[in-house]
Amino acid sequence: AQSVSQHNHHVILSEAASLELGCNYSYGGTVNLFWYVQYPGQHLQLLLKYFSGDPLVKGIKGFEAEFIKSKFSFNLRKPSVQWSDTAEYFCAVNGGKLIFGQGTELSVKP
């Protein structure tokens, strides 16, 4: 069965710190990969997506993610976080149905 695992439930960083959020999935076939963000009180918005090609994908607001097929991973990164990045981040994998990870809450201290 398809599943998605996000390693960190809650991450606390200071502004300007670097961010890496882990995401691993289990699925044997071809997948499309997504990172969504949910700012406090708002709906989910797409940060970035990977379908094929260059495994390093760039999204909005300076985020990027790297697909490592051999590790079944799709980690999200940002070199320098801002207070406005405080949100919940969801990794999602679509191998037929879109399955979400449990989410990682990011708190950025000013």
Partner 1 sequence: DAGITQSPRYKITETGRQVTLMCHQTWSHSYMFWYRQDLGHGLRLIYYSAAADITDKGEVPDGYVVSRSKTENFPLTLESATRSQTSVYFCASTGLAGANEQYFGPGTRLTVT
Task: Give the distance from CA 20 to its chain's centroid.
Answer: 9
Instruction: Considering the complex, state which of residue 22 and residue 95 has its C-beta at the smaller distance from partner 1.
Output: 95
Q: Does 59 participate in binding partner 1 (rule CB under 8 A)?
A: no
Residue 13: HSE in the Cβ half-sphere, 13 Å Cα cutoff? 22
For residue 100, the cross-strand partners are: 92
* Residue 103 beta carbon to partner 1: minimum distance, rounded to whole angstroms: 5
* Residue 76 beta carbon to partner 1: minimum distance, rounded to whole angstroms: 15
What letter does residue 97 receive in the DSSP assignment? S
Binding residues (CB under 8 A) for partner 1: these are 6, 32, 34, 36, 42-46, 49, 51, 90, 94-103
